[in-house]
Structure 1
Amino acid sequence: MTTILVFGDSNSHGTMPLARLGGVDRHPKSARWPDVMGQALGVEVLIEGHPGRTTVHDDPIDGAHKNGMRALPAILESHRPLDLVVIMLGTNDCKARFGLRGWDIAAAVGKLAQVVQASNAGPGGAAPQVMLVAPVPVEEAGVLAEMFQGGRARSRAIAPALKDEAERLGLPFFDAGRVAAVDGLDGVHMDARAQQALGLAIAEAVGPLLPS
């Protein structure tokens, strides 16, 4: 069976918009975009969505385990063989504590893609295909507004920079902000309708990449 790995953060985990800090409510499985994508394509989707995950940065407050670069090699080995790895990260890199530019975030996603490209986690010990997805831009709203101060502009700079990075690496690219938006309750997470829209749109983009 065709297998896709989604490597992401809380929006791939299915975290619901937060009314208070520390909330852990999660959309039902049927409403999370990776599951919606898998259902539409009829393939197995493995979801590695870790709330708070960054691209390549140890989080000085939430911990080094939030660093996607630290986690990715073990995850690839655990789930191989994989036909495709979809990477949607960068939202947490927009937190004020990191002080990054959109270009920095896109370059870091590119480093993750190169880890996948250098792996033997695909069929027959080859590397899996990789798709880069620019995350839905954030708003500075609700309980996460201060944490993501400056994130509105920073997150909107990711998509054009990541499109260029994907072209440099010869990888397919998708901009989630074209089809979905965050909920105004916390300015970071998607409601069920946005999750559904994103899942269906990415399924359409992923379909041609999968083995027939």
Structure 2
Amino acid sequence: MTKTILTFGDSNTYGTPPAHARGENRRFGPETRWPTVMLSELGEGWALIEDGLPGRTTSRADPVMGAHMDGQLGLRIALESQGPIDLLTIMLGTNDLKTHHGASVDQVVAGLAGLVGIARSEPYQTRHNGFDILLIAPAVVLEQGTYRDGLLGAQTKSRDLPFAIAQLADHWGLPFLDAGMHIRPSPVDGLHFEAQDHITLGRAIAAKVASL
């Protein structure tokens, strides 16, 4: 029986390459993006639904990009428009650290807790006949490159985020993976992964999924 994974995240799940200028709209191909690399590594018996939205936050409307960047709205839409799923991966928190959101580490984790609460709620679990959740801490943010101006203080907070997310995962009894243990974002824009890092991360997440 085929198992389905829904990968829920932001531009680093969508597959945005490092940007040399603002406003670029590019995407790595399926041979490179970590969700599709993960699927390839897992082999037969698995299906994939990719849901990466550039700019998505854990729980915040974006004053520039729009209200639909609120991940809690997006997750409800995904869980009602897709499925049934067997596993949900969540890798979010990077965009919450943008200067104009002003979110602390605790506030980012609170947003993730809201996402977990939605996903584990009885209506959605029943709708999908039950599914597991893998929390993935995003890699550290670098305050350099293309998006440096909008990332004041983000690097320091992003270093503390994996431990805080790991605590949340432990509290909920959820599996956890720290992307930063495997990759780092490109210094070109401080946020996005190079092609080889996508491949490395996809393989690491596939190994974690296979062990669940």
Answer yes or no: same fold by TM over 0.5: yes
- After superposition, what is the alpha-carbon deviation per residue over 1:158-193, rounded to whole angstroms, capped at 9, x for unaligned? 100000011111111110000011001000000001
Question: Which amino acid in structure 1 is aligned with residue 32 of structure 2?
Answer: A
Tell me how far 1:125 sits from its aligned partner. Answer: 4.2
Match among 109, 112, 136 for residue 112 of structure 2? 109
Q: What are the residue-to-residue correspondences of 1:47-86 with 2, within 5 Å?
A: 47-86=50-89
After the TM superposition, which parts of structure 1 deviate over 6 Å for at least 4 consecutive aligned residues? none
TM-score normalised by the chain length of structure 2 = 0.95
TM-score normalised by the chain length of structure 1 = 0.95
Other structure's SS at 1:3 match = strand
**1:128 paired residue number:** 131
Give the whole-Å Cα distance in 1 for the aligned partners of 2:89 and 2:29.
21
**1:153 paired residue number:** 156
Give the whole-Å Cα distance in 2 for the aligned partners of 1:174 and 1:83.
18
- Give percent identity, aligned residues only: 38
Matching of residue 205 in structure 1 with residue 204 in structure 2: no
Give the whole-Å Cα distance in 2 for the aligned partners of 1:182 and 1:196.
13
Match among 187, 191, 196 for residue 193 of structure 1? 196
Please tell me the root mean square deviation across aligned C-alpha atoms, in Å: 1.3
Give the whole-Å Cα distance in 2 for the aligned partners of 1:208 and 1:111.
26
**Residues 82, 122 of structure 1: 8 Å contact kept:** no
Aligned length, in residue pairs:
209
**Residues 84, 129 of structure 1: 8 Å contact kept:** yes
Give the whole-Å Cα distance in 1 for the aligned partners of 2:105 and 2:32.
29
Tell me how far 1:126 sits from its aligned partner. Answer: 3.0
Unaligned ranges ≥5, structure 1:
none
Other structure's SS at 1:188 match = coil
Q: Quickly say closer, same or farther: Cα 1:104–1:124, change in 2 above 3 A.
A: closer
**1:137 paired residue number:** 140
Tell me how far 1:111 sits from its aligned partner. Answer: 1.1
Other structure's SS at 1:97 match = coil
Matching of residue 30 in structure 1 with residue 23 in structure 2: no
Question: Which amino acid in structure 2 is aligned with residue 47 of structure 1?
Answer: E
Give the whole-Å Cα distance in 2 for the aligned partners of 1:104 and 1:122.
25
- After superposition, what is the alpha-carbon deviation per residue over 1:86-144, rounded to whole angstroms, capped at 9, x for unaligned? 00000100101111111221221121011111154558743311010000111011110
Give the whole-Å Cα distance in 2 for the aligned partners of 1:76 and 1:124.
9
Matching of residue 163 in structure 1 with residue 166 in structure 2: yes
